[in-house]
Amino acid sequence: MRVPLPFITLFGKPNNQTNDSGNDWEMAISFPVRLGRRISELRENRGLSQTQLADLAEIGRAHLSQIENGAVAARIDTLYALAQALEMPLEELFKGF
pLDDT tens profile 28-75 = 789 999 999 999 999 999 999 999 999 999 999 999 999 999 999 999
Would residue 42 count as lying in a domain? yes
Q: Is the pTM of this model over 0.85?
A: no
Would residue 23 count as lying in a domain? no
Number of folded domains in the chain?
Answer: 1
Domain range for 87 is: 34-94
Could you give phi then psi for residue 19, rounded to 5 degrees? -90, -175
The confidence band for 97, taking pLDDT boundaries of 50, 70 and 90, is: confident
Cα-trace Rg, the chain: 16
Would residue 24 count as lying in a domain? no
The confidence band for 7, taking pLDDT boundaries of 50, 70 and 90, is: very low
The confidence band for 5, taking pLDDT boundaries of 50, 70 and 90, is: very low
Residue pair 37/74 in contact (Cβ under 8 Å)? The answer is no
pLDDT at 6 over 80: no
Would residue 79 count as lying in a domain? yes
15 vs 67: CA distance, rounded Å: 24
Would residue 1 count as lying in a domain? no
Find the Cα–Cα–Cα–Cα dihedral 82, 61, 77, 58, rounded to 10°: -80
Q: What is the CATH number of the domain that holds 46?
A: 1.10.260.40
Would residue 60 count as lying in a domain? yes
